[in-house]
Amino acid sequence: MKKPIELLSYEKIEKFNPENIAKLKNHYREILNLIGEDVDREGLLETPLRLAKSIQFLTQGYDHDPEEILLSAKFKEDYRQMVIVKDIEIFSMCEHHMIPFIGKAHVAYIPNGYITGLSKIARVVEVYSRRLQVQERLTTQIKDTIQNTLNPLGVAVVIEARHLCMAMRGVQKQHSVTTTSDFTGAFERAGTRAEFISLVSSTLS
């Protein structure tokens, strides 16, 4: 008699598209072979499969609709002051070299009758960052999605990131940081923008 499967209080289960995984695995095996590796040596036997799963995880953003994420938690609320979600970690892949860039996003909006769940802002950042990206477009996509979905009085997005394509290859500048920003509505006014920058630069005591 089989022992019943014990249910845990919480268990995260990863699922991948098996057809895509099989195709990617074969391609990565060929890539390893082309760079001169012995794909049958012990340390590399499972590497093509790991790479296949890894690239599917790192680019999962293509499977999700950021606007639907915001609409799933859109609530009427008579609040017209700044809402800021800052220090949202970003892990993305530069589309030019498929090397990571890592940083953080600061996002703010001023509601115009509707708010969204705070976690949904972070989810929008996550969805767009889990695609092949350039930082400039990533910044604008986050801003446009919030503006188009919530129709707030203004949106502000600032991203700071280190690009490993600059650190590991090419110019090899390990400590450079790239900052991008985009604003709409009320944040196009100098005073509102300055308040936002001051708040994202401050730390809680």
pLDDT in tens, 115-153: 999 999 999 999 999 999 999 999 999 999 999 999 999
Q: Where are the chain's structural domains?
A: 18-58, 65-201
C-alpha distance from residue 67 to each of 63, 74, 124 (Å)? 13, 11, 8
Residues annotated as part of the active site: 94-97, 135, 163, 165
Give me the CATH code for the 18-58 domain, please: 1.10.286.10
C-alpha closest to that of 141 among 178, 97, 90: 90
Architecture of domain 65-201: 2-Layer Sandwich (3.30)
Residue 1 has pLDDT above 70, yes or no: no
> C-alpha angle 41/29/133, rounded to 5°?
130
Q: What would the pLDDT profile of 64-78 be if each residue is shown by its tens digit? A: 999 999 999 999 999
Those residues whose C-beta lies under 8 Å from the C-beta of residue 111, and which sit 6 or more positions away, are 77, 79, 80, 83, 150, 152, 153
Task: Using a cut of 0.85, tell me whether the model's pTM lies above it.
Answer: yes
Confidence of residue 60 (pLDDT cuts 50, 70, 90): very high
